[in-house]
Amino acid sequence: MVENVAPLMRELEPEDFYLLSGIEQGMRFSEWVAREKLPEFSRLTAENVDYRLDRCEDRGLIERKTIQYQGFKLTFEGYDALALHTLIERETIDAFGSPLGVGKESDVYEVRSYKPFALKFHREGYTNFREVMKEREYTADRDHVSWQYTARKAAEREYDALEGLYPDVSVPRPIDQNRHAIVMERIDGTELSRTKLEPGQVVPILDLVCREVAAAYDEGYVHADMSEYNVFVADDGVTVFDWPQAVPTDHENADELLTRDIENLLGYFKRKYPNDVGEVDTDAVADAIVAGEFDSVAQFTAE
Ligand SMILES: Nc1ncnc2c1ncn2[C@@H]1O[C@H](COP(=O)(O)OP(=O)(O)O)[C@@H](O)[C@H]1O
Ligand SMILES: [Mg+2]
């Protein structure tokens, strides 16, 4: 379980962050960063490095391992601390709040600024092997692809998708991104999976979600991880979130992924509300979305 690093932020000193970012730099080249490299990477004296290493290790921000040499690496908490520090320095956020949700691959917290935002730390990336190989020079240690790298990639992908989609599609407004963290508008509402819709609401809500999928396609994106867990329902409509796996519509598998997204949604609605949702032709829905002609699932329901 990842500890919330926020309470530590007050105790950390500027030079602790020099050390942490020195280790971060070293991790581009090897999994464990040798102690001798740290004065150079962090621009601190050797004595100060030793002092800061102990402080950061005591706080769970780094890990130590002795093989042929003494090496160090950041923990998730250390990486979280670096991202938070940057976001605070940029004045994107000023206070950390309570957890909003723990997802499959992330931790999401409320953060405060001039209004409440959500901060999502990516914990792992969907590892696109080809993409990693392309940027292999990232690490000299050939087989070493750090979790920092895949988590940062996932955050960048999600942030880019949100920027491309907002405001034409109902997604959280993107605010800022650093390392594996994104800051976005905090959405009020209940996840679709935890909502009990009244009979008269079922098809209208299903239509709203499908229209967002269609609007995203018009903007050039397929979500590729659509499910009842990635949709918020509120009185004023629906919001689709969790976009790190999104692919552009000119991607070779885009239409296949779109069909799978629609299947997931329709499958969920049919299982949960069998009396309200009839047989829908999934392929026809996907075709209509691709053609820009989707309006309602009613068009594709067998009587
Ligand atoms: N913008 C947001 N506003 C409020 N809660 C959010 C927001 N984004 C995510 N959450 C909460 O955090 C949980 C995990 O986020 P999600 O983006 O789905 O990540 P994962 O990839 O881990 O599933 C969600 O199920 C939701 O409850
Ligand atoms: Mg999710």
Residue 295 annotated as catalytic:
no
The values of phi and psi at residue 97, to 5°, are -120, -155
Residue 103: pLDDT band (50, 70, 90) is confident
CATH number of the domain enclosing 74? 1.10.10.10
In a domain, 242, yes or no: yes
Measured from CB, residues less than 6 Å from any atom of ligand 1 are 100-101, 103-106, 108, 118, 120, 172, 184-187, 191, 229-230, 241-242
> Residue 1's pLDDT is what?
37
Q: How far is the CA of 143 from the centre of ligand 1 (A)?
A: 31
The residue out of 120, 150, 185 marking a domain boundary is 185
Q: Are residues 216 and 152 located together in one domain of the fold?
A: no
> Residue 5's pLDDT is what?
84
Q: Is the distance from CB of 82 to CB of 24 less than 8 angstroms? A: yes
> Residue 124's pLDDT is what?
77
Return the closest-CA partner of residue 210 out of 283, 291, 266, 287.
266
Q: What token pair was written down for 86?
A: 């940057």
Helical H segments across the chain, by residue range: 14-26, 38-42, 46-58, 76-89, 129-134, 147-165, 202-218, 254-272, 282-290
CA distance 241 to 231: 6
- 34 forms beta bridges with 71
Q: Is the distance from CB of 240 to CB of 171 less than 8 angstroms? A: yes
Burial (Cβ within 10 Å: 0-12, 13-18, ≥19) of residue 103: middle
CATH number of the domain enclosing 178? 3.30.200.20
Q: Are residues 141 and 231 located together in one domain of the fold?
A: no
CATH number of the domain enclosing 266? 1.10.510.10
Mean pLDDT over each residue of the chain, to the nearest integer: 91
Q: Are residues 158 and 239 located together in one domain of the fold?
A: no
Angle between helices 46-58 and 14-26 (to 10 degrees): 90
Judged against a pLDDT cut of 60, whether residue 127 lies above it is answered with no
Mean local confidence (pLDDT), 30-56: 96
| Domain of residue 262, residue span | 190-300
Please count the structural domains in the chain.
Answer: 3
Nearest Cα residue to atom 26 of ligand 1: 101
Q: How far is the CA of 101 from the centre of ligand 1 (A)?
A: 6
Q: Is the distance from CB of 214 to CB of 204 less than 8 angstroms? A: no
State pLDDT tens for residues 133-151.
555 545 555 555 677 888 9
Mean local confidence (pLDDT), 278-295: 96
Q: Is the distance from CB of 83 to CB of 106 less than 8 angstroms? A: no
Which atom of ligand 1 approaches the CA of 185 most closely?
1
Q: Is the distance from CB of 149 to CB of 122 less than 8 angstroms? A: no
One-letter amino acid of 2: V
